[in-house]
Amino acid sequence: MAQESQHMQPGSAPAQAFGFATRAVHAGEEVDLREGATGEVVAAIHLATTYARRKVAEPGRYEYVRLQNPTREALELKLASLENAQYGLAFSSGLAAETTLLLALLKAGDHIVAFDDLYGGTRRLFEQIFANFGIEASYVDATNAQLVENALKPATKMVWIESPTNPLLKLADIRAIAEITRRRGVALVVDNTFLSPCLQRPLDLGADVVVHSLTKYLGGHSDVLGGALLLNDKQLYERLQFNQNSTGAVLPPFDSYLTLRGLKTLALRMEQHGKNALAVARYLEKHPRVSRVLYPGLESHPQHALAKAQASGFGGVLSFDVKGTVADAENFLERLRLFTLAESLGGVESLIELPAQMTHVSVEKAEREKIGITDTLIRVSVGIEDVSDLIADLEQALG
């Protein structure tokens, strides 16, 4: 079913005429004031798995929950509006979204060029799953767009980047890479999880598909697992929708509802995440026990100017190295009282982890070290708590 996300309410102005925060609250959840309608201001949780039809040959708007569900549809319309996309699909996880996209665009013998600093789960998907089906991936430092172009082969069908990257907070010049991929007839996929559409919209910069882990900032409360794909190509959308239905990788109604609820405060949350992260990064940059701080909002970040040019904020994730050994890093992490030692990111609470032993343990040690993920690198997802409390916790743990 093709989606139309052009109106906030029947007869109102086009959705894109409204600001981001307004669309985060209202898009996809238009109030129905027709005779006999409930007038509810929040999208309902529709739990039905199947839908009746009046005639055998004439299904209604909905047929079966795997095909579409009213709650999931509301979420997909909201996500599309926020990313300035024509179409959106919500999946059972970010990796389910990625898998569905790869199945739709690639076949045996095809090649992917990917950022060398990449979420460990994505890299595992490329190397340990899709490699078994004859799909090759190679990795380059995509901070240099020319290196991306140099890595393209006749068999290359996709360029896959994160910006900022996980966990080294590197940036890719999305517009420059999009010009290359468009010229060479290659699809550009951008994982926009770290900044969210609140701060960066890759489709506007020339990307073909945007990937999100809904589990992170879009859900925002560490209580939902999900993924999304956003795009403007109708044919690709229909192919993705067919693959999603065929594999069953759909987001359930209750998870769709939780994500819809989280999105309403996305603009407010991202503002506070960014303020807190910048304050924490500046504190860490001056601490004698810290050797390196990676955060695009710092003037010391080598791509600070690019961060300001292609995004409207710097996000809530930063990484830093503690001086010493891995034992020193572990001791610091286990002394924290307010930061929670856990994987994931993007929730209202502050999370902290050791990528080499947690989120990126599936990446070979030699490869981690090659791209700059040391054994003492610590990744922080800065929450929305009082920043003075966060800094005090870091102070006592660093000693």
d(Cα 9, Cα 21) in Å, to the nearest integer?
16
Q: How many residues does the chain have?
A: 399
Query: CA nearest 397: which of 315, 303, 343, 320?
Result: 320
Residue 311 CB-half CA count within 13 A: 27
Residue 201: active-site member:
no
Residue 216: active-site member:
yes
Q: Exactly one of 66, 264, 275, 323 is catalytic; which is it?
A: 66
Residue 191: active-site member:
yes
Contacts 24+ apart (CB under 8 A), 361-369: 361/120, 362/120, 362/121, 362/123, 362/124, 362/128, 363/120, 363/123
Q: Tell me which H or E stretch contains 351.
A: strand 351-353
Query: Are 13 and 27 spatial neighbours (Cβ–Cβ below 8 Å)?
Result: no
Q: Exactly one of 62, 87, 119, 217 is catalytic; which is it?
A: 119
Residue 255: active-site member:
no
Q: Exactly one of 23, 123, 157, 216 is catalytic; which is it?
A: 216
Residues in contact with 169: Cβ distance below 8 Å, sequence separation at least 6, in sequence order:
294, 295, 296, 301, 317, 318, 319
d(Cα 177, Cα 271) in Å, to the nearest integer?
28
The count of other CB atoms within 10 Å of the CB of residue 164 is 29
Q: What is the residue whose two structure tokens read 């054994």?
A: 375
d(Cα 241, Cα 104) in Å, to the nearest integer?
10
Supply angle C-alpha 146, 149, 154, rounded to 5. 165
Q: Where are the alpha helices (DSSP H) in the chain?
A: 20-26, 70-82, 94-105, 120-124, 145-151, 174-184, 196-199, 234-247, 253-263, 266-285, 304-310, 326-335, 365-371, 387-398
Q: Exactly one of 110, 116, 173, 191 is catalytic; which is it?
A: 191
Active-site residue list: 66, 119, 191, 216
